[in-house]
Every structure is written in structure tokens, then in C-alpha cells.
């Protein structure tokens, strides 16, 4: 019996630990593990290879993914999905573990409905925006990368009596910005979820600057579209020299944290066990400190809502 693993969409720390755990556990179960390289594009191009222990030796600490990832427009076309299925048949693969997000899950769900394919989706994205799970692989490492950068930025900010507006990733979800702002003690945080009360902030920050504050740290999620606006407001209304820093893709890199490595192992081994028990079109999620499986349709048909406690903390900061 053969089972494959693939990555799709944006890369994320935690992918390599998941890949290593997959290979080791599948061999332990007496099965044959396969890699699908380069996501859906690799599935179409038949970049499918049997995985060996030597392929995953020494990758637990590495960021990114050794089997690569991609976004594929061709997979939307039925003729290319037909090719992909024939490639899987040639390797006797009918079970897949997908490391990805909503879009990847949707694509694989369409594929599984058309052909005799069983799959488990493992939520893997630094945005932490997949419905039904409190945690996605990659978010813990990304938060640590952001926090380390903010700590360094605060040093120079305080030295020059400047404000810094730091933009994090998060196109549709402000989780990264929100958590990093709270844990770094930032003065301002902009996310798509909550509107900033600039009038109230102006009053508070001017009072603090007049009473000894000598720097300001602002965090802005890219999806808030407020990075430039906040910088201009700080200079014109608050009267403090301001710099913008866009962290960009460094947030995807780095060594996976201990928590990330443990969670990758749990996600993958439970997913393999589930695929051996039954035909599945499911996502494995981590909710209220427990793992569970939910129908893939539930995951892709709903939008993630950020924890209410976090939202309340954010509102206190910017209201």
C-alpha cells in the first residue's frame, strides 16, 4: 500500500518536520511513502518519487520544504487533473496527506470527488486563518521570527526617539500582527478585523510622549492597508520621526520551534492512522488543545474567526 505527501501554496516552517515524521511513520507501518514534489504542478508533471529515510535525514531543524511547493492554475482544468490521476495510478497511490491551506484543500477536494482518492489536509500556513483549528503549522515559528525582529527594532527606536511601523504578513487575517503586537508591547496595531480610533490614540500617545515616552512601535498587518497611513499620521499628528519596515518573507523562514516540530509529528501520524482506517476527505485540526478531524467541506466553506480574548486585548490597545 502506498501513501504520498505533498505541499501546496505558501511555504511554512513545520513542513520539513512533518515530512520527516511522515516518512519515518509510514515505514514503521510497513507501507511505502511517496513524495509529490512541487505541489499540484508536480502531480501533473509526474514528479512523484518513492521516499527513503536518507531523504529526510537531518531536515527536522530546517525551514521551508525539501519537496518544494507551488500554486497551480493548470490544476483548475479537468484535463490536467486527469493526467494527475493517471500519474498516481502508475504508482498505486490512492492516499494523500496535504500540507497547505484553504485553497489547496479545495483543489484536492475537487480532485478526490472526481477520482478514487482519499486525503487528509494538515493546516499549514503562517497566517493561522484556516477555519476549525486554533493552530496551523508554521505560525509559532513565524511569531518568533517577528518577535525577535521587533525586539531589535525597539532598541534602535528608543535610541533615536523614533516611531517604527512594522508590517507583517496577513492578507485577510490579522493574527500575526495581533499576537506579535500584544507580546511585544506595541503601542499601535492595525488589522483587518478591528478599526483604529485615531482620535483617542492621538490623545493618549501625545500625553505619554509629554510624560517621558521616547519611542513608538506600531504593528500593521498587510491586509489592513494602513501601514503608510499610520506612518504619515505619526509624523503629522503625533509629531515623531517615523520609519516603515516591511518584514516580508523572512517571516516564512527560520528554524522550526520545538512546539512546531512536536505538532508536525502529531498532525502527520494521526493523519496516517486515519487514512489507514477509512476513506477520508478530511482536515485534521487542533481545537481546544485536542486533535480532531472535520469534513473538508466545513473547513473550506467557513472563514476563521480570531479568538475573542485576543480581539478584546487588541481593542484596548487601539480604542
Q: Which residues are catalytic?
A: 127
DSSP 302: S
Q: What distances in angstroms separate CA 136 from CA 61, 108, 168, 222, one per listed residue?
A: 18, 18, 17, 19
Q: What share of the chain is helix, strand, coil (3-state, %, to 5)?
A: 50, 20, 30
Q: CA angle 225-228-232, nearest 5°? A: 140
| d(C-alpha 44, C-alpha 52), whole Å | 22
At a CB cut-off of 8 Å and minimum separation 6, what does 133 contact?
A: 123, 283, 285, 286, 287
Do the beta carbons of residue 271 and residue 120 sit within 8 Å?
yes
Do the beta carbons of residue 199 and residue 229 sit within 8 Å?
no
Q: Which helix (H) or strand (E) holds 21?
A: helix 15-28
Do the beta carbons of residue 101 and residue 300 sit within 8 Å?
no
- Judged by DSSP in three states, 144 sits in helix
Amino acid at each position: 500500500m502506498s501513501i504520498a505527501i505533498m505541499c501546496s501554496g505558501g511555504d511554512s516552517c513545520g513542513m520539513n518536520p512533518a515530512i520527516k515524521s511522515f516518512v519515518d511513520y509510514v515505514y514503521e507501518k510497513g507501507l511505502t511513502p511517496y513524495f509529490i514534489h512541487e505541489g499540484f504542478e508536480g502531480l501533473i508533471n509526474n514528479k512523484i518519487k518513492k521516499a527513503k529515510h536518507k531523504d529526510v535525514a537531518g531536515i527536522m531543524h530546517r525551514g521551508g520544504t525539501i519537496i518544494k511547493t507551488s500554486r497551480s492554475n493548470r490544476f483548475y482544468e479537468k484535463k490536467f487533473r486527469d493526467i494527475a490521476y493517471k500519474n498516481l495510478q502508475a504508482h498505486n497511490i490512492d492516499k494523500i496527506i496535504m500540507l497547505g491551506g484553504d485553497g489547496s484543500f479545495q483543489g484536492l477536494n475537487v480532485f478526490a470527488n472526481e477520482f478514487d482518492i482519499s486525503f487528509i489536509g494538515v493546516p499549514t500556513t503562517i497566517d493561522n486563518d484556516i477555519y476549525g483549528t486554533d493552530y496551523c503549522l508554521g505560525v509559532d515559528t513565524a511569531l518568533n521570527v517577528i518577535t525577535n525582529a521587533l525586539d531589535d527594532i525597539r532598541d534602535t527606536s528608543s535610541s533615536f526617539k523614533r516611531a517604527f511601523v512594522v508590517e507583517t504578513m496577513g492578507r485577510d487575517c490579522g493574527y500575526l500582527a495581533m499576537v506579535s503586537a500584544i507580546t511585544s508591547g506595541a503601542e499601535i496595531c492595525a488589522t483587518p478585523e478591528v478599526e483604529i480610533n485615531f482620535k483617542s490614540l492621538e490623545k493618549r500617545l501625545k500625553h505619554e510622549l509629554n510624560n517621558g515616552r521616547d519611542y513608538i512601535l506600531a504593528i500593521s498587518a498587510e491586509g489592513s492597508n494602513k501601514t503608510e497611513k499610520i506612518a504619515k499620521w505619526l509624523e503629522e499628528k503625533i509629531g515623531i520621526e517615523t520609519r516603515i519596515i516591511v518584514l516580508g518573507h523572512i517571516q516564512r523562514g527560520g528554524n522550526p520551534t520545538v512546539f512546531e516540530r512536536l505538532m508536525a509529528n502529531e498532525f502527520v501520524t494521526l493523519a496516517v492512522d486515519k487514512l489507514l482506517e477509512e476513506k477520508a476527505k478530511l482536515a485534521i485540526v487542533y481545537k481546544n488543545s485536542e486533535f480532531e478531524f472535520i469534513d473538508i467541506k466545513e473547513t473550506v466553506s467557513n472563514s476563521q474567526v480570531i479568538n475573542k480574548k485576543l480581539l478584546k486585548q487588541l481593542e484596548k490597545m487601539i480604542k
